Amino acid sequence: MTLTLILTRHAKSDWDDPLLSDHDRVLNPRGRGDAPKIGAWLAAQGHMPDAAMVSSARRTLETWERLAPALEHPVAMTVEPDLYHAEAQQILQHLRGASARKVMLIGHNPGIGECAHRIVAEPAPHPRFIDYPTCATLVAEFPGDDWSSVDWWSGRVVDFVVPRDL
């Protein structure tokens, strides 16, 4: 049996309101357009999560809200406050506690990009994988039937996309 991870950085956020805290920033127009594209791409490629773990930041929640309608079936989503600006090791710890076989995780750089690089044995053959831009999405598979045993460099890249590709 295999496990599937869909690792997505939030869509492009808005910096126009200096009074908003970083946690409360929303998506900008480009981000609002990119998130549904990623959802449609996931559905078209058959990369359907069974569960989603999303940072508590407004921009990650909005990314989820805009991509989820494109998915083929409803997906249980949990808000994970500890994923807000989590480091790669914290992200791995959250993942190890997952119970669904196909998990989507939406978070922030630099942690999400570092996690993507460290969790797969070989990097995605894409020029943007290295900097993991907004809404970048990695799909990786892992052997086994329990997330608790997943470790660094144990995954295989199945797919990788950035909104500009779509």
* Structural contact between residues 9 and 107, judged by C-beta atoms closer than 8 angstroms: yes
Q: How many domains does the chain have?
A: 1
Q: Which two tokens stand for residue 149?
A: 């045993």
Return the amino acid letter for 160.
F
pLDDT tens digits, one per residue of 38-59:
999 999 999 999 999 999 999 9
Per the prediction, the chain carries an average pLDDT of: 97
Q: What is the pLDDT of residue 95?
A: 97
Q: Which two tokens stand for residue 157?
A: 């890249």
The model carries a pTM of: 0.97
Q: What percent of the chain has pLDDT over 70?
A: 100
pLDDT tens digits, one per residue of 57-86:
999 999 999 999 999 899 999 999 999 999
What's the CATH code of the domain at 36?
3.40.50.1240
**Domain range enclosing 10:** 2-165
Q: What is the DSSP letter of 51?
A: E
pLDDT tens digits, one per residue of 123-152:
999 999 999 999 999 999 999 999 999 999
- Terminal-to-terminal C-alpha distance of the chain: 31
* Confidence at 165, pLDDT banded by 50, 70, 90: very high
Q: What percent of the chain has pLDDT over 90?
A: 95
